[in-house]
Amino acid sequence: MHPYTYQFFYRINEKQHILLRRQMYEKFYCFKETPFNVTSDPAFFFSSSNHTDALSHLTYGIDQRKGILLITGEIGTGKTTLCRTLLSEYRNHPERNVKTAFILNPSFSDQQLLQLILKDFGIQEDFENKFDLVNALNEFLLKETGNGHNIVLIIDEAQNLGVEQLEQIRLLSNLETEKEKLLQIILIGQPELCEKLELSSLRQLNQRISVRHHLLPLQRDEVKEYIKHRLKIASSENSENFIRFTDKAIDTVYERCKGTPRMINIICDRALLAGYTAETFVIGNDIIHRCFQEVNIKIHGRLHGFQNHQDGYESDKTVPDPAKMRKAWYKNIYILLCIVFLFGGLFFLAMLSFPEQLFSFLKPSP
């Protein structure tokens, strides 16, 4: 079997094995669902002080019809979860009269982006050009506003929008009456979005952003509450044994993950697998360090967001490639030939310089 084919099937079997173990640890710990999934589930939204402020900023901007709102944050800080929590809140309270559209992947042309927005608002007609698209959206907004509805457009991963698409967003913000904005636009993205908005070609859009907030990682005490929060939500009501993480384990998680929720989820999920294997309900510092070691080995020392430092564990060492450690056979022969030629050359020079001394033993004795 080709080595790449072997690696492919090995990875599939490894994933299946991990899924099987995860199902078994859910049963062992009496979980009704996996507590540390990396999906953006609003049911697991953790109200840290910073995330609560972000949600309050968004609610204020929408209710007061502020036009364009901006939420930024590093990778894995919970931006998409925040969006889905906001959507869930409005959909669970229809009396607030808020209709939403959520664009997850805005990597399209400006016209395709308009088509996607209309489709998410439930407008399924075919339009020939951009003018018809904008006109249809304007009619929809006027009708919904007249019925007392507040229309909100949320665009995630907005750092991927080009200058043309962002300029189209600015033009959509011009849809308004004499007293209020017809469309509230929320841009969600990584810090690169702020850098893009500083371009001179986007200064008009940048000036129209009325609400801004930057999501920060969790603090040390928040990491502890975050882990407890997710465990509590995932646990069954009839669970007799409640799993816990020791303080030292939480300190290590915070120090290595720097409070990033996604990284915390990855390590804690791995820790539960290790805890199930050890049949323990207490996740200690040794288990956490072993989990970091396993994750670091799998990614060959590239930590992908984990804090790398020397702490006496081998988890920070990269894994050598066995193929690079084995010398090719032809390199060994090359070295041997060099040695032979070297000694042969020295012997030849000695023959030229001292022929009588070298061959004196061949002369017959008198």
Please give the C-alpha separations between residue 329 and each of 11, 67, 177, 337, 339, in angstroms, as whole numbers: 31, 69, 79, 13, 16
| One domain, residues 63 and 80 | yes
Would the pLDDT of 76 be above 80?
yes
| One domain, residues 300 and 161 | no
Retrieve residue 11's tokens: 């990875």
pLDDT of residue 345: 78
Retrieve residue 10's tokens: 């090995």
pLDDT of residue 304: 45
The pTM (predicted TM-score) of the whole model is: 0.74
CB 118 within 8 A of CB 137: yes
Would the pLDDT of 362 be above 70?
no
Residue at 123 is within a domain: yes
Q: How many helices (H) and strands (E) does the chain have?
A: 15, 7
Q: What is the CATH number of the domain that holds 155?
A: 3.40.50.300
| One domain, residues 93 and 149 | yes
| 29 Cβ contact list (under 8 Å, min separation 6) | 235, 239, 241, 243, 272, 275, 276, 281
Higher pLDDT, 186 or 177: 186
| One domain, residues 199 and 90 | yes
| 107 Cβ contact list (under 8 Å, min separation 6) | 157, 160
| One domain, residues 184 and 109 | yes
pLDDT of residue 326: 47
CB 32 within 8 A of CB 235: yes
| One domain, residues 158 and 175 | yes
| One domain, residues 32 and 86 | no
pLDDT of residue 310: 40
Q: pLDDT above 70 covers what percent of the chain?
A: 79
Of 131-145, 157-171, 284-298, which gets the smallest average pLDDT? 284-298
| One domain, residues 227 and 144 | no
CA distance 268 to 288: 8
Residue at 23 is within a domain: yes
| One domain, residues 284 and 263 | yes
Express each pLDDT in 137-167 by its tens digit: 999 999 999 999 999 999 999 999 999 999 9
| Number of domains observed in the structure of the chain | 2
Q: What is the CATH number of the domain that holds 22?
A: 1.10.8.60
Express each pLDDT in 249-267 by its tens digit: 999 999 999 999 999 999 9
| One domain, residues 206 and 257 | no
Would the pLDDT of 322 be above 50?
no
pLDDT of residue 301: 41
pLDDT of residue 22: 67
Instruction: Work out the pLDDT band at 359, boundaries 50, 70, 90.
Output: low
The strand ranges marked E within 80-193 are: 98-103, 150-155, 183-189
Higher pLDDT, 356 or 270: 270
| One domain, residues 210 and 223 | no
Instruction: Work out the pLDDT band at 363, boundaries 50, 70, 90.
Output: low
Instruction: Work out the pLDDT band at 225, boundaries 50, 70, 90.
Output: very high
Residue at 20 is within a domain: yes
pLDDT of residue 319: 38
Of 38-42, 178-182, 225-229, 354-358, which gets the smallest average pLDDT? 354-358
Retrieve residue 300's tokens: 């060959």
Query: Which domain range does residue 304 map to?
Result: 11-40+218-316
Residue at 5 is within a domain: no
Would the pLDDT of 75 be above 80?
yes
